[in-house]
Structure 1
Amino acid sequence: MSDFGLFFGKFLRQGTAIASLAPSSPWLSRATVREVDWATARVVVELGAGTGPITRVLAERAPDACRVVVLERDPDFARLLRERFSGRPNLDVVEGDVRDLAAILADRGVTRADAIVSGLPVPSFPADLTRSLFRDVGRLLPDGGLYSQITELPWVYWRFYRRFFEDVRFAFEPRNLPPAGAYFCRGVKPLD
């Protein structure tokens, strides 16, 4: 089955849990990771990888010294990702839920991440899960660390992300179907 067929089928069955009709385009995938500083990054975390279009770009760009941890809740997607990226020793695909992000990373010896790239439908999360996620993001990212979030509703969620980050910028990618973009967020606001 094609990536589109797998993704679209899951979207029809699970709706907002999948968050998109189709995998991200190569253009959106590259745009989403463009602000990762590959010269200094030692750990990059991807949340909600789906069939792996962003994972593919991370695998291509991450130097050997950079560890990429990919978290995917769906067992079919996680299995596909493990098969697809099995030849990358610095890329670790983990089947798990973002609710357990801190524990999953701690089990792998990860206490800091230089960048976190998300394909999750965060604005549709319950408020407690959103706060928990961004509390973990704040603990993981150093000052100036990057949280990058894809969206298929360009500009709509700028205020949403401003509630959690000091600096929020948006880049539009019209070549994605549907048109989409990425938020680049830095400076997590305290949530405690």
Structure 2
Amino acid sequence: MRLDRLRLQPDERFAFFQGFLKNPARVGSVIPSSRFLERRVVELAEVDRAQSVVELGPGTGGTTRALLRAMAPEARLLGIELDADFVRILSPMRDPRLVIHHGDARDLERHLRMHRFPAPEVVVSGIPFSTMPRRLGREIVQAVFNVLAPGGRFVAYQVRDRVGELGREFFGRPQVQVELLNVPPMRVYRWVKPSVPLMQQAS
């Protein structure tokens, strides 16, 4: 693993800005996450205790690097990115624990099977749920719920509350924190998948 590649480079910051200009609904922010936000996400996800980790929308890889720094040597990380330009930026990252996949988050179960990943204990998402159609967002959250191991953590960092609304249907009420040392300030949502589905609990 090359440690010099675990820091976001200036040209990658510019690429992130370009991605926002090209498709703001998909990127959702002008600049990448701050180190303060990355640290909060990693801590809430308890990445150091996970063997199988998924990141939805890694972008230019800032949070990806933070996850890798916190992960155990034998853990694995699957990054699923829809933007082909970001995939090209992420591909040179040399870490044997990391797999970058160009695909749709709704097909999460298929991507996991393709790369022989077990049920993840952690799913981290930075994709902007508030700028996508509600039906699409719901399908992504349902896909996360379906594959997440019981007791697994789903952590999503967002500007607005849409993912909180969508997640309650499947996971129940989230833990919510706010990271002010980020541009823009971010809400960080955390759910733990119940061992018994909510529908069975209600019956």
Higher helix share: 2
Contact 2:54 2:79 in 1 (8 A): yes
TM-score, normalization by structure 2: 0.83
For structure 1, the 5+ residue unaligned runs are none
Match of 1:49 among 30, 49, 58: 58
Over 3 Å counting, the alpha-carbon distance change for 1:130 and 1:59 in structure 2 is same
Query: Aligned pairs, how many?
Result: 188
Contact 1:3 1:23 in 2 (8 A): no
For residues 78 and 46 of structure 2, the distance between their equivalents in structure 1, rounded to whole angstroms, comes to 16
For residues 151 and 173 of structure 2, the distance between their equivalents in structure 1, rounded to whole angstroms, comes to 10
For structure 2, the 5+ residue unaligned runs are 1-9
TM-score, normalization by structure 1: 0.87
Pair 1:181 & 2:191 matched: no
Alpha-carbon deviation of 1:31? 0.8
Corresponding residue of 1:82 = 91
Contact 2:41 2:188 in 1 (8 A): yes
Higher strand share: 1
Contact 1:167 1:186 in 2 (8 A): no
Contact 1:112 1:139 in 2 (8 A): no
Pair 1:112 & 2:112 matched: no
Over 3 Å counting, the alpha-carbon distance change for 1:40 and 1:5 in structure 2 is closer
Pair 1:100 & 2:91 matched: no
Pair 1:134 & 2:141 matched: yes
Corresponding residue of 1:31 = 40
Question: What is the alpha-carbon root mean square deviation over aligned residues?
Answer: 2.1
Corresponding residue of 1:148 = 155
For residues 147 and 164 of structure 2, the distance between their equivalents in structure 1, rounded to whole angstroms, comes to 22
Alpha-carbon deviation of 1:147? 0.5
Contact 1:167 1:187 in 2 (8 A): no
